[in-house]
Amino acid sequence: MNSRHEKGIRTIQPLKYTILIILTTLIMGTSFPIGKIGMLYAPPFLLMGLRYVLAGRLMAWYLRKRPLPTQWQSWLKIILIGLFQSAGVMGCAYYSMNWITSGESAIITFTNPLLVIILSAFLYRLTYRFSQWIGVMLGFMGIMLTFGWQMSFSPGTWIGFGGAISFAVSTMLIKRWGDDYDTFVLTAYQMLAGGAALLLLSVWTEHPHFIVNTTSVIVLLWLTLVCSIMQFSLWFYLLQHSDPAQTSSYLFLAPFFGVLSSWILLGEHVQWFALAGGLLIAIGIFLVNRRSSRMGNRVT
């Protein structure tokens, strides 16, 4: 493992790290039911596009005096991260809620840590203990159990899983390229890129409309200020200053908060096998991310 990576892990004190992880996953979890409320007033791609464009524009204005990348390759990397992190993850997650509950969407989306481990093993030649691969198997068994062992998954299931894959890819990209950018500049402009892509997708696939009332405005402001600006800033900061697999392992808290907030805000009821599946996913993530062995080759 390279010295820069090891140094990065030591930059966050344990108490601060724990507080930031809990706060970040709490915000992530609550964004699902709040977003589903917003979908009563706007279609999903339009809602997410407005959320990210507004958030990115506000952050870009606030950061207007900070230096920006000067090479087109650097901007291309930001755009690519935005397409996976903003457009891919939440676009899939919210669109999937046309078929499944917000709690189920949260559970699927946050299988991301399991996928991060698999990608790390293949792309970065990381090696893992037998117990960690058992964790991967338990995690995916948890996914099956969450949906009652039914093999005929709905379109929402597959779309949600596409969001999880996008989340895993963006996690690896941020860890690989993130140190080259100011955290907040990266946060702002990747949201602008992802939001613009979602707005274009909305024009092509939806009938864009936004019903303006007190609830819809509050939802949009919450999604913009808290679930976008605050959440992404915290998440990118954590990824840049810790091991991505270790940090991703705590994402099992997000679907817990998602299911809990969906019950409180939407009155959604989750069946016992969904809760049992979520527990298996949590155990799998814990096993697979307790501590990864050192990289066989340096990641640059």
Q: Where are the domains of the chain?
A: 3-289
Tokens of 117: 């481990």
> Would you place residue 11 in the very low, low, confident or very high pLDDT band (cuts 50, 70, 90)?
low
pLDDT exceeds cutoff 50 at 292: no
Q: Which residue blocks in the chain are alpha helix, DSSP H? A: 3-9, 14-38, 44-62, 72-82, 91-96, 102-109, 112-123, 130-146, 155-177, 183-205, 214-224, 231-240, 244-248, 253-266, 272-289
Q: What pLDDT is attached to residue 153?
A: 63
> Would you place residue 274 in the very low, low, confident or very high pLDDT band (cuts 50, 70, 90)?
low
Contacts of 277 (CB under 8 A, 6+ apart): 107, 142, 143, 144, 145, 146, 147
Q: Report the pLDDT averaged over residues 173-195.
A: 86
Q: Report the pLDDT averaged over residues 30-44.
A: 91
Question: Chain-wide mean pLDDT for the chain?
Answer: 80
